[in-house]
Amino acid sequence: MPITSRLASEHVAASYPLAPLAWEVGFTRDPSIAPAEFVPASVPGAVQLDWARAKGLPDYTVGSNFRQFRFAEDVYWVYRARLDLPQAGKGERVYFYCGGVDYRFQVYLQGELCHDQEGMFTPFEIDLTGRARPGDEISVVIFPAPKATPSPEDRTQARLSNKPPVSYGWDWHPRLIPCGIWQETGLQRRPARHFRAVDFRYRLSDDLTSADLDVRIETSDPGAGAAITAYRLLDPEGKEVVSSERPEARLEGVRLWWPNGEGEPELYTLEVLLDGAVVHARKVGFRRVRLVMHEGAWDEPARFPKSRSRPPVTLEVNGRTVFARGSNWVCPEIFPGIIDEGVYRPLLELAKGAHFNLLRTWGGAIINKEAFYEICDELGLMVWTEFHLACNLYEGEPSYLRVLEQEAASTIRRVRQHPSLAFWCGGNELFNVWSGMTDQSLPLRLLNKLTYELDRDTPFIPTAPLDGMGHGDYRFRDEHGREPHQIFASASNTAYSEFGCPGPSDVEYLKTFIPEAELFPPRKGAAWEAHHGFGAWNMDPGSWLCQATIEHYFGPQRTLEELVARGQLLQCEGYKFIFEEARRQKPVCAMALNWCFNEPWPSAANNNLISWPHRPKPAYHAVKAACRPALASARAPKFGWKSGEEFRADLFVLNDAPEPVASGTLEARVVIAGRAVARVSWQFPELAARRNEKGPTLSFLLPRFEGDTFQLELAVADRPALDSSYTFAFASVAERRKPAPGERFLNG
C-alpha cells in the first residue's frame, strides 16, 4: 500500500531545521530498469548540471554547448539517497519534506510507491515516523518532459501541461528543458504538535488608518488537546502593537507599505506562537491595490450601441493613482534549482535603482521563489504575477485543469501574503491569434475563480495584453521605416506592457561566450545565432543584432567595437523615447514596462537591460534616466536626420512623483560637433503632483556637417537632477555623401 503523504507549505519548511540528504542521480530510458550509472547530485539543482559536473562536459553557456543536453528531456531521471534519520525524541516525528520537483514524478521508499504528483509548484511531505529505518533508500523518479506532440520542437509542446513553456525554446531562451529537485528538500524533526502554516489577512478601513486582522494558524495537533496558538505583530521598529490568541484583532495607526518612489515600504513582523514558543516569523505589510479606469475612460465608446469601455489597468495604491514604470521579469537562470537570494537580490536592487515600481513576472517562466517576493517587499517593488501560461492554446482537458488548480492554489496561498503583490494575471498573450483563448476558456475561468475565492481583494486580469494595452513593437526600425518616435507617438494605449529595442551586449562580455574565431564579423549558423543574434525572431534579417538597421544609420561596421557601440546607441535612444512618450500620454496611459529586464543566460543581442547574470547594459542607464520621477523631456518626430531638414522637438516637464515640481527655467540647445547651434528657453510653471506640462517647440534648420550624430541637451537652472540629453543620427547611409568642391561643413 502507498504510504500516506500530504501537501505541505513553505512555512513549515522554514520553521524547523531541514537536514539535507546525500543524493545521487542517474537516468534510464525504461522506468522498469534501474539506471546503469549514478553520479553525485546537488539538491536543490538540476540533473543536467549534475551530469555535466560528473562527466566534465563543457560550459552550457558557451557557444552551442547547451545542445549537449537534448537527450535529457526524453529519459527518466532517478534520484536516490539513504535515509540518515535524525534521532526522534519523545513525542517527536520525522518528515521527508520537499519544496518542489520539476515536473512529473513519483517517490519511493524501499521500492514502495509513497507519493505520485504532477506539478512543480506544490510542495509535499511524507511522515516517516515508524515507517522508515536508518539506511532505507528513498528515490524520486522524474518522468520525461511532457510534450503535446513529438514535433515540432517548440513551445507548443507545453500546451497540455503546467510546465513553464519557456524552456521549450524562445527568442531569448535556448531549448534546454530543466529537470530535477528544484526546491529545498530534506529531513525534518518536528514536535508531534507542530506549526504548519499561517494565513495573514486584513482589511483596511476606508481612510487607511486602521486594519482588521484575520490571522489563521494551522497546526498538526494530533491526539487529545488543542494546541494553544497565538500571534503578535511588531511594528517596523520592533515594538509589539498587537497580541492575540484569537484570529481577529485590530491594528490602529497603520503605517502603509508604499511602492518605490511613493513612500516607504513599511514592513511589520508577524510572529506565530505555539504553546507559548515562537515557531514562525515573517514580514508583512499593509496596502490597498486596485485597478481602476483612467480619467475619461467612460467617454469611449461614444456612440450607441454602446458596450463596455476598455478594461481598467491604472494602478491605484493606497488611494493614490500611480504611473507604473518598470519592466518584464523573466527567469534569471535557465535552471530554477540554482536560483536563490544571491541571484535575485542584485537584479532587484538594480530594478529599484532604475526608479522602477512594478515588475511583470512573465507567464512563460516559473512562479518565482519566496526570496523574490521577500526582496520585492523590502525594496518597494510591486509585482504583477502571471500564472505559468504563455502563447499556447491551453484547451482545458480534465487532467490539465486538475493540475492547474493544484498549482495555482498553492501559488495563491503562498504569494497572497506579500505586500508587493499588485495583481494576478492568467498568463501571457492568451487572447492572441497564436494562442486562440477567450474569456470562456476553462483554464482562465478556473484561475479567475481561484483568485476570487483565495485572494478576493487582489485584482485579476485574464491575460496581457487586454483591449487597449499594447505589446510591441520590438525593433528600432520596422519594415515600413518607422522608428519608435513615430510608432509610439501615434499610439494611444492604456498601457505599454511590452515593448522592446534590441541592442548587442558589451564587447568584453561577448568574448566570454562566443569563440574568438566567430566574434567578427558576426554570422549566422554559429555562436551568434545560438545566442539570439540571428534567427531568433521573424523580423530584421539580423534578428536581435539588427545589423541592417545599424547600417541604415551608420553604414558598414568596420570593427566589433563600432558595431556594438552603434547598436547600443539605438537601444538607448529607442528606450528613452518610449518610456518618456508613455509618460507623456498620461492619464490614458498608465504603464510603461519594457521587454525585458533580465535574461537567463548570455545573449549576443537582445531587448534586455541587464546581461546575465546581473551586468547592466548602457540601455539600463538610459532607462534609469527616463524613469526618474521628474525630468525635463523632449519629443522629436524621428531619430535619423539630414542636412536641410528642420529639426523639431517639443519640450515637456514630466512629473510622476507624489509631490509638486517647483517652477523653473528650462534651456534646450542643439549641439553639433561640440558647439551649441540653437537654443530656446522656457519658464515653466509649478507642476502638480503626478502631472506633466507641455512647453514650446525648438526648431532649427540642420546644416551640413561631418559626423554621424548630434545632440539635444535640456538643462534646468540650478536643478541638474532634471536635466536630460538625447542623441540623433545625422543622415542615413543612403543619404550620406562627400561634400561638393568648395562646399563647407560645420565641423566644430
Q: What is the mean pLDDT of residues 135-147?
A: 98
User: Does the pTM exceed 0.75?
Assistant: yes
Label residue 735 by pLDDT band (50, 70, 90).
low
Helix axes 560-584, 618-626, angle to 10 degrees: 20
- What is the set of domains in the chain, with CATH numbers? 5-191 (2.60.120.260), 209-287 (2.60.40.10), 288-321 (no CATH), 470-615 (3.20.20.80), 630-730 (2.60.40.1930)
Residue written as grid cell 511590452: 498
Name residues whose C-beta falls within 8 Å of residue 358's C-beta, 6 or more positions apart in sequence: 259, 315, 324, 325, 326, 381, 382, 383, 384, 422, 591, 593
- CA-to-CA distance for 384 and 374, rounded, in angstroms? 15
User: For position 117, what pLDDT does the model report?
Assistant: 98
Alpha carbon 101 to its chain's center: 22
Q: Among 110-114, 125-129, 487-491, 738-742, which stretch is predicted with the lowest mean pLDDT?
A: 738-742
User: For position 744, what pLDDT does the model report?
Assistant: 41
Whether the upstream peptide bond of residue 473 has omega within 30° of 0, thus cis, is: yes
Q: Among 242-251, 294-303, 438-447, which stretch is predicted with the lowest mean pLDDT?
A: 294-303
**CA geometry: angle 87, 90, 91, nearest 5 deg:** 110
Cα-based distances in Å from 234 to 54, 105, 407, 578: 48, 41, 32, 43
Nearest to 566 by CA among 624, 597, 605: 605
Buried b (16+ CB within 10 A) or exposed e, 604-632: bbbbbbbbbbbbbbbbbebbbbbbbbbbb
- Cell numbers at 334, concatenated: 535557465
Backbone angles phi, psi at 13, to 5 degrees: -65, -35
Cα-based distances in Å from 88 to 110, 184, 192: 20, 21, 10
Backbone angles phi, psi at 566, to 5 degrees: -75, -35
Label residue 228 by pLDDT band (50, 70, 90).
confident
pLDDT single digits (tens) 17-57: 999 999 999 999 999 999 999 999 999 999 999 999 999 99
pLDDT single digits (tens) 503-520: 999 999 999 999 999 999
Q: What is the mean pLDDT of residues 685-704?
A: 96
pLDDT at 1 over 80: no
First-to-last C-alpha distance (Å) of the chain: 87
- CA-to-CA distance for 203 and 722, rounded, in angstroms? 39
DSSP annotation of 596: -
Residue written as grid cell 557601440: 565
pLDDT at 88 over 90: no
User: For position 305, what pLDDT does the model report?
Assistant: 72
Residues in the chain: 748
- CA-to-CA distance for 416 and 454, rounded, in angstroms? 8
pLDDT at 119 over 60: yes
- CA-to-CA distance for 264 and 468, rounded, in angstroms? 32
pLDDT at 541 over 90: no
- CA-to-CA distance for 504 and 330, rounded, in angstroms? 18
pLDDT at 301 over 90: no
Percent of the chain at pLDDT exceeding 70 = 96
User: For position 641, what pLDDT does the model report?
Assistant: 96
3-state secondary structure 635-653: ECCCCEECCCCEEEEEEEE
User: For position 743, what pLDDT does the model report?
Assistant: 41
User: For position 214, what pLDDT does the model report?
Assistant: 97
**CA geometry: angle 62, 63, 66, nearest 5 deg:** 75
User: For position 203, what pLDDT does the model report?
Assistant: 97
Residue 653, amino acid: V
User: For position 728, what pLDDT does the model report?
Assistant: 98
User: For position 747, what pLDDT does the model report?
Assistant: 36
- SS3 percent helix, strand, coil of the chain, rounded to 5, is 20, 30, 50
3-state secondary structure 386-401: ECCCECCCCCCCHHHH
Label residue 745 by pLDDT band (50, 70, 90).
very low
Backbone angles phi, psi at 581, to 5 degrees: -65, -40
